[in-house]
Structure 1
Amino acid sequence: MIARIKLRDRDAFALLYDATSTKLFGVCLRILKDRGEAEEVLHDVFLRVWHKADTYAITGHSPMTWLITVARNMSIDRLRKRRPDGGSDAVIARLTDTAPGPEAIAIARSERARIDACLEELEPEKAASVRGAYLDGETYKSLAARHDVPLNTMRTWLRRSLMNLKDCLTR
């Protein structure tokens, strides 16, 4: 939908609003604790999405994570504007909960499940290599030694496995 919004597709924008506005309103309301202000910020969030949809691909985050970040940041900006001095970072830090909210946790779990499912599609030794290199921080050299393959073969395994994961995640 965001790709279509970049092209100024109003139907895609309406679909995105219908699919996400409730969750984003919850983010705004949780931070601002004022329904009227949360509604105003939500309106501003969708204006920003309409005007800045082309910046989404640059961030590399999932669409919902990007939208939640926009809503959260705009809500915090509104909090700062409430105070005559613009709000201090210490006060804002105490007022806002920096821990991920229920919606962010649910999104993270969903993304983790997708990644795990895609890893399951790889051959077991290649999935183990990907986990070792990108989740456990193992070097290519140590992985090559563990799997008893040449270093360049390990590099090829990892490169091809990442391409397969990318294909799987875009389905």
Structure 2
Amino acid sequence: MDINKIESTVFNYIDEFKVLFFPEQWSDIFLDFSKNEILALLFLYRKKNANMTEIAEYIMAPLNTATGVIGRLEKKLMVERIRSAEDRRIVLITLTEAASVVIEKEKAMIIKYLTKVYGILTEEEISSVLSIYKKVVGVFKESKNQVKEEESPVKNIRKISIE
């Protein structure tokens, strides 16, 4: 496939995907929160609470970035920091009641649309879509790993003899 054909295909898909991002279809959560904030909220929704390191690993960001993300979510009253009952030195991040309500509302909307989509597809089509999706995600994961390997400098270890 030549570059012009690929470009044309990409722009055609973008034109078709616009409907997925109309404000009428979705609430403002995707406008009010950053990608990392949404990922952190979803992670906390599923785990109930987590420490900063776990959140940073999940959103694939450095610890200082995750700290900023959680700080912004605290200001928006979506998360709170609590001390662990077992070890007071450990600070856990948990969702507020307001955040849980927002996520439940979004989840209901997503389920509504996915139910409609699944309703018009055959089992074979659903299987094909999921198979294609896994392959596409695999390409991106592989590319991400290659970039990491290229960026990480090779560390030379010098042995120093001690007399």
Calculate the TM-score normalised by the size of structure 1: 0.28
Structure with bigger helix share is 1
Structure with bigger strand share is 2
Calculate the TM-score normalised by the size of structure 2: 0.29
